[in-house]
C-alpha cells in the first residue's frame, strides 16, 4: 500500500475519532461528577443533529457564510445543553437520594421518550443537513482527495480537549468538577452547592453531545436511529479511557478511530465487534481503563445498593404468595389464548429478571449484558432441536448448562473488576457473543436466526406449555431465592458490602462471586431456552443490548433492594409494554413516560414500595400494641 493512502486512511480515522471524542467527553464528565450512567447521552447527540438541521439551513438563508454555519452549530449545542438542564432539574434531581442505578432507569425512560418525540416533531424521513460553506470541497493530499470538512473535524477534537483543560484547571467551576469527580461526598461536606454543580455539569455534558451531533450534519443525515448507534460506542470510549478522564477519552477515541480505519482493510466485517473486542482486552489488562483511577468509594464502607436484609415471608407474604400461586394454576381456566401467551412470557422474564437481581441486588455485580446468557441458553436449545434433531426435553436441559458455562467463562474475567467497569465488561462480552451469533451464519443462521424451535407434541398446546414454563420458572425462582437465604447468598452480600472484610474473615471473594455469576447465568439460560420454545425461533436480538436493558429495567422497576421485587418488575414492565403496543405507534413514548412516572412515584421500585408500606403498617401495629 502506498504511503499516501495510509496517511489519508489515518486522517479518516482521526476525523472519526475527533467526533467520537467530543461526544464521549460529555458522557465522561457527567459520569465523573454525578455517577450517573446516562443512557440519554446518545439522545442528546441525536437532538443536536436534529436541531442543527433545523436551525442551520434557516441561518444559511440569510448568508451562506461559514460563520453563520458554525454559529448555528453552537446554538444547536446550546439548545441541547438546556435540554440537559431540564432533565437534571425535572427528573434527576428528584432521585439523587435513591440508589444510583435508578437514575440509569430514569435516563432509559428519557431515551424512549426522545425517540418518539423526534419522530413526532421531525417525522420519520431522514433529514440531510447542509454542507458547511467554505468546506464543501476536497483537498488533495498527494494524489488522494480528502474532504476539507474532515480536516476541520480533526482540529475540533484537540481544540475541545484544550478548552476543557482550561475550564478544568483555570475556573472555579472546573476545579469543583474535578473535586467532585474525585470525591463527591467530600465536596458536598465542604458546603459546595451540589445542585448547581450538577446542573452545570449536565449542561456541559449535554452541550458536548449536542455539539457532536450538530457537527455531524454535513456528513450524515439526521435520523431517528442515531441515538442507539452512537451510545454504545461512546460508552466504550469513556470506559476504555477511564471513566471521568477526559484525556483518557481522547486517547481511546484516537485508538478506536485508527483501529477502525485500518481494521476494515483486513477484516471488512470488523466494525460490528471491533470496539467491544478492544474494550474487553483493555479491561482485562487495565481494570480501570487507560487513564482511570480506582473508584473513590472502593476503599470505603459505602451503603450498599441492594438487598440489605432479606426478609423471610411473614403471614401476609405467605398469603399473597399462595394467592399468586393459585392464580397461576387457575389462569388457563379463565384467560383467553392471548392472555395465556403474555402470562407465559411474563413467567419467562420473571426468571431472567430474578437471576439478574441475584447478581445486582444480592451480589452487587451490576451486569449490563445479562441477555448474553439468556440468549446463549436459547441458542443452545434452539440449535440442538433444529440442527441435531433432539427433542425439546434434553434441549431444555442444555439451555441452563450453556448459560452457566458461558457465564463461568466470561465471569472469570468479569468478577475481577468492580462497579461501572465490571458492568461494561459484561456488556463487551455480551456484544462479542452477539457478534458471533450474528456473523457465524452457517451454524447460527446469522441475523435471520433459526426457525422451527417448537415444543414437543405433549407441550405444544398453549395451556401445556404455560404449565411447563410455570413449573420450571417458579422452581428456578424458588431455588435462587433459597440460595439468597442460604450461607452462600449471605457470603455474596458480604463480598458486596466489603471486599476487604469478607477477605479478612477467610472468604475467597473472587471465587464466590464467580460461582454466583455462573449460577445466575445458568438460570438466565434456562429462561432463554423456555423463551425460544415459546417463540419458535432464535435470533441475535435475544442477546442484544436492548434485551439486557429490558432486564435491567425490570429489576429496577421491581426494586433491587427486595428479594421478590424483580418478579413484580417483570410483570409490570411486560404488561405496560403489552398495554401500549397495540394502542399506538408511539408506544415507546408511553413506555418511557410510565417508567419515569414509576421511578418518581416509587423511587425504590415496586417491591421497595411494598416493603415500605409493610413496615409502616408494622410500626402502626406496634404503636397500637404499646398504646394498649
Partner 1 sequence: MAAAALAGLAPARAQGAPVKVGELNSYSRMAAFSVPYRHGMQLAADTINRAGGVMGGRPLEFVFRDDGSTPGDAVRVAEELLTREGCAFIAGTFLSNVGLAVADLANQRKKLFLATEPLTDAITMAQGNRYTFRIRPSTYMQTRMLVEAARGKTQKRWAIVAPNYEYGQSAAANFKKLIGSAIPGAEIVAEQYPALGRVDAGATVGALAQARPDAIFNVLFGPDLTAFVREGNTRGLFERRLVLSLLTGEPEYMIPLGDECPDGWIVTGYPWEQVEWPAHKAFVEAYRARVNDTPRLGSLLGYVTVQIVANLLNKAGTLETEKLVDTLAGLTTDTVSGSVTMRALDHQGTLGAWVGETVLRGRTGTMRNWRYADGANYMFPEAEVRAVRPGA
Q: What is the DSSP letter of 98?
A: S
**DSSP code string of 394-436:** HHHHHHHHHHHHHHHHHHHHHTTS-HHHHHHHHHHHHHHHHHH
Measuring CA to CA, which residue among 113, 107, 125 is closest to residue 50? 125
Radius of gyration for the chain, computed over Cα atoms and rounded to the nearest angstrom: 25
In the chain, how long is the greatest CA-to-CA distance? 95
Cell numbers representing residue 331 in the block: 389462569
The answer to whether the Cα torsion of 57, 58, 64, 67 is positive or negative is negative
Residue 347 and residue 575: Cα distance in Å, rounded? 12
Point out which span in 73-81, 203-211, 269-277, 399-407 binds partner 1 (CB under 8 A): 269-277
Measuring CA to CA, which residue among 536, 172, 520, 133 is closest to residue 351? 520
| Residue whose CB is less far from partner 1, 374 or 429 | 374
Q: Which one among 88, 305, 499, 539 touches partner 1, defined by CB under 8 A?
A: 539
Residues 71-110 that bind partner 1 (CB under 8 A): none
Closest separation in Å from C-beta 157 to partner 1? 14
| Residue whose CB is less far from partner 1, 141 or 320 | 141
| Residue whose CB is less far from partner 1, 225 or 511 | 225
Q: Which one among 581, 597, 612, 617 touches partner 1, defined by CB under 8 A?
A: 581
Beta bridge partners of 127: 222
Closest separation in Å from C-beta 329 to partner 1? 21
Measuring CA to CA, which residue among 110, 135, 89, 106 is closest to residue 46? 110
| Residue whose CB is less far from partner 1, 29 or 275 | 275
Whole-angstrom CA distances from 266 to 121, 259, 278, 570 are 42, 11, 16, 43
Residues 138-197 that bind partner 1 (CB under 8 A): 138, 144-147, 149-150
Q: Which one among 90, 125, 166, 318 touches partner 1, defined by CB under 8 A?
A: 125
| Residue whose CB is less far from partner 1, 139 or 302 | 139
Point out which span in 21-29, 192-200, 242-250, 529-537 binds partner 1 (CB under 8 A): 529-537
| Residue whose CB is less far from partner 1, 120 or 485 | 120
| Residue whose CB is less far from partner 1, 17 or 415 | 17
Closest separation in Å from C-beta 64 to partner 1? 14
The 2-41 site mask, x for binding partner 1 (CB under 8 A), equals ---x--xx--xx-xx-------------------------
Place of cell 437534571: 88
Residues 315-374 that bind partner 1 (CB under 8 A): 336-338, 341-342, 345
Point out which span in 63-71, 137-145, 198-206, 296-304 binds partner 1 (CB under 8 A): 137-145
Cell numbers representing residue 84 in the block: 440537559
Q: Which one among 137, 169, 387, 511 touches partner 1, defined by CB under 8 A?
A: 137
Residue 312 and residue 316: Cα distance in Å, rounded? 11
Residue 33 and residue 296: Cα distance in Å, rounded? 12
Q: Does 225 bind partner 1 (CB under 8 A)?
A: yes
Place of cell 388457563: 332
Closest separation in Å from C-beta 557 to partner 1? 18
- Do residues 536 and 451 lie in contact, with contact meaning Cβ atoms separated by under 8 Å? yes
| Residue whose CB is less far from partner 1, 138 or 394 | 138
Residue 108 and residue 103: Cα distance in Å, rounded? 8
| Residue whose CB is less far from partner 1, 171 or 448 | 448
Point out which span in 285-293, 424-432, 439-447, 519-527 binds partner 1 (CB under 8 A): 439-447
Neighbours of 268 (CB within 10 A): 8
339-370: b (≥16 Cβ within 10 Å) or e: ebbebbbbbbbbbbbbbbbbbbbbbbbbbbbb
Residues 549-578 that bind partner 1 (CB under 8 A): 578
Q: Which one among 69, 108, 421, 438 touches partner 1, defined by CB under 8 A?
A: 438
Residue 516 and residue 598: Cα distance in Å, rounded? 30
Cell numbers representing residue 86 in the block: 431540564
Q: Which one among 127, 167, 397, 507 touches partner 1, defined by CB under 8 A?
A: 127
Point out which span in 80-88, 260-268, 391-399, 513-521 binds partner 1 (CB under 8 A): 260-268
Q: Which one among 74, 168, 220, 324 touches partner 1, defined by CB under 8 A?
A: 220
Point out which span in 38-46, 207-215, 518-526, 540-548 binds partner 1 (CB under 8 A): 540-548
Residue 24 and residue 463: Cα distance in Å, rounded? 50
Residues 448-487 that bind partner 1 (CB under 8 A): 448-449, 451-452, 454
Amino acid at each position: 500500500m502506498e504511503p499516501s493512502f495510509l496517511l489519508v486512511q489515518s486522517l479518516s480515522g482521526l476525523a472519526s475519532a475527533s467526533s467520537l471524542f467530543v461526544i464521549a467527553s460529555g458522557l465522561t464528565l457527567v459520569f465523573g461528577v454525578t455517577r450517573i450512567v446516562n443512557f440519554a447521552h446518545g439522545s442528546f447527540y441525536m437532538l443536536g443533529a436534529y436541531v442543527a438541521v433545523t436551525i442551520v439551513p434557516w441561518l444559511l438563508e440569510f448568508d451562506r457564510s461559514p460563520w453563520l454555519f458554525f454559529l448555528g452549530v453552537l446554538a444547536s449545542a446550546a439548545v441541547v445543553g438546556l435540554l440537559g438542564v431540564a432533565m437534571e432539574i425535572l427528573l434527576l434531581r428528584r432521585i439523587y437520594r435513591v440508589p444510583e442505578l435508578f437514575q440509569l432507569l430514569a435516563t432509559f425512560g428519557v431515551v424512549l421518550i426522545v425517540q418518539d418525540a423526534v419522530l413526532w416533531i421531525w417525522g420519520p424521513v431522514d433529514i440531510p443537513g447542509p454542507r458547511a460553506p467554505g468546506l464543501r470541497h476536497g483537498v488533495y493530499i498527494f494524489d488522494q482527495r480528502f474532504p476539507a470538512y474532515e480536516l476541520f473535524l480533526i482540529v475540533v477534537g484537540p481544540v475541545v480537549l484544550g478548552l476543557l483543560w482550561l475550564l478544568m484547571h483555570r475556573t472555579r467551576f472546573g476545579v469543583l468538577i474535578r473535586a467532585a469527580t474525585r470525591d463527591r461526598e467530600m465536596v458536598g461536606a465542604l458546603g459546595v452547592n451540589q445542585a448547581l454543580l450538577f446542573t452545570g455539569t449536565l449542561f456541559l455534558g449535554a452541550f458536548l453531545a449536542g455539539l457532536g451531533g450538530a457537527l455531524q450534519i454535513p456528513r450524515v443525515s439526521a435520523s431517528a436511529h442515531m441515538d442507539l448507534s452512537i451510545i454504545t460506542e461512546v460508552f466504550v470510549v469513556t470506559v476504555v479511557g477511564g471513566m471521568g478522564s477526559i484525556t483518557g477519552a481522547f486517547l481511546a477515541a484516537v485508538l478506536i478511530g485508527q483501529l477502525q480505519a485500518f481494521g476494515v482493510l483486513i477484516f471488512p466485517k470488523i466494525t460490528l465487534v471491533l470496539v467491544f473486542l478492544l474494550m474487553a482486552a483493555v479491561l482485562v489488562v487495565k481494570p480501570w481503563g487507560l487513564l482511570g483511577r480506582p473508584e473513590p468509594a472502593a476503599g470505603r464502607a459505602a451503603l450498599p445498593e441492594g438487598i440489605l436484609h432479606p426478609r423471610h415471608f411473614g403471614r401476609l407474604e405467605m398469603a399473597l404468595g399462595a394467592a399468586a400461586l393459585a392464580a397461576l394454576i387457575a389462569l388457563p381456566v379463565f384467560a383467553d389464548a392471548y392472555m395465556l401467551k403474555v402470562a407465559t412470557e411474563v413467567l419467562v422474564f420473571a426468571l431472567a429478571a430474578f437471576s439478574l437481581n441475584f447478581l445486582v441486588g444480592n451480589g452487587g455485580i451490576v451486569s449490563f449484558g445479562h441477555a448474553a446468557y439468556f440468549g446463549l441458553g436459547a441458542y443452545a436449545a434452539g440449535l440442538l432441536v433444529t440442527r441435531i434433531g433432539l427433542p425439546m426435553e434434553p434441549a431444555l436441559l442444555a439451555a441452563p448448562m450453556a448459560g452457566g458455562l458461558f457465564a463461568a467463562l466470561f465471569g472469570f474475567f468479569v468478577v475481577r473488576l468492580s462497579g461501572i467497569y465490571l458492568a461494561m465488561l459484561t456488556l463487551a462480552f455480551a456484544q462479542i457473543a452477539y457478534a458471533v451469533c450474528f456473523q457465524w451464519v452457517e451454524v447460527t443462521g446469522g441475523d435471520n436466526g433459526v426457525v422451527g424451535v417448537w415444543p414437543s407434541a405433549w407441550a405444544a398446546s398453549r395451556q401445556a406449555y404455560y404449565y411447563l414454563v410455570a413449573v420450571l420458572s417458579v422452581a428456578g425462582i424458588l431455588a435462587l431465592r433459597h440460595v439468597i437465604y442460604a450461607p452462600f447468598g449471605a457470603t455474596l452480600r458480604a463480598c458486596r458490602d466489603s471486599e476487604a472484610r469478607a477477605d479478612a474473615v477467610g472468604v475467597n471473594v473472587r471465587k464466590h462471586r464467580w460461582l454466583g455469576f455462573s449460577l445466575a447465568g445458568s438460570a438466565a439460560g434456562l429462561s432463554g431456552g423456555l423463551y425460544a420454545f415459546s417463540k419458535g425461533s432464535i435470533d441475535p436480538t435475544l442477546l442484544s443490548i436492548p434485551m439486557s436493558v429490558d432486564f435491567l429495567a425490570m429489576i429496577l422497576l421491581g426494586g433491587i433492594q427486595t428479594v421478590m421485587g424483580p418478579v413484580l418488575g417483570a410483570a409490570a414492565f411486560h404488561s405496560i409494554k403489552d398495554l401500549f403496543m397495540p394502542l399506538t405507534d408511539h408506544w415507546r413514548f408511553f413506555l418511557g413516560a410510565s417508567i419515569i412516572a414509576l421511578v418518581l412515584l416509587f423511587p425504590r421500585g415496586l417491591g421497595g414500595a411494598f416493603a415500605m408500606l409493610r413496615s409502616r403498617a408494622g410500626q402502626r401495629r406496634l404503636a397500637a400494641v404499646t398504646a394498649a
